[in-house]
Amino acid sequence: KNQVEQSPQSLIILEGKNCTLQCNYTVSPFSNLRWYKQDTGRGPVSLTIMTFSENTKSNGRYTATLDADTKQSSLHITASQLSDSASYICVVSAPTGNQFYFGTGTSLTVIP
């Protein structure tokens, strides 16, 4: 069964600290993996996209990694800011049409 699992479910960190969010998936075949950020009361917004041939991709203080062999991805946030408080959702897509598989998200809270 195609699944996407994220950990931890929630995380609280101090402002300025780094953190890493995990995403494990069983989707096969695999086309790409996206990380979305969802602020409270808003729709998700794409942070990064990675295809199976990419290992690392950065977007400012956000760095995503992908190991297609072990079907694992991580999102590393450097020097966290209060505005990083949000839910982070991992989405894996298959190569055909509308096959998007969503994780349940990690809720990140950054405290001063």
Partner 1 sequence: DAEITQSPRHKITETGRQVTLACHQTWNHNNMFWYRQDLGHGLRLIHYSYGVHDTNKGEVSDGYSVSRSNTEDLPLTLESAASSQTSVYFCASSENTLANNEQFFGPGTRLTVL
Judged by CB under 8 A, does residue 26 bind partner 1?
no
Task: Judge contact between 48 and 64, C-beta under 8 A.
Answer: yes
> Which is closer to partner 1, CB of 46 or CB of 81?
46
Segment near partner 1 (CB under 8 A), from 10-18, 34-42, 53-61, 66-74?
34-42
Q: Report the length, in residues, of the chain.
A: 112
Tokens of 27: 């989707």
Judged by CB under 8 A, does residue 32 bind partner 1?
yes
Segment near partner 1 (CB under 8 A), from 11-19, 61-69, 78-86, 95-103?
95-103
The angle at the Cα of 77, spanning 38 to 73, to the nearest 5 degrees, equals 80
Dist. CA 53–CA 24, nearest whole Å = 17
Contact residues: partner 1, CB under 8 A: 31-32, 34, 41-46, 49, 51, 89, 93-100, 102-105
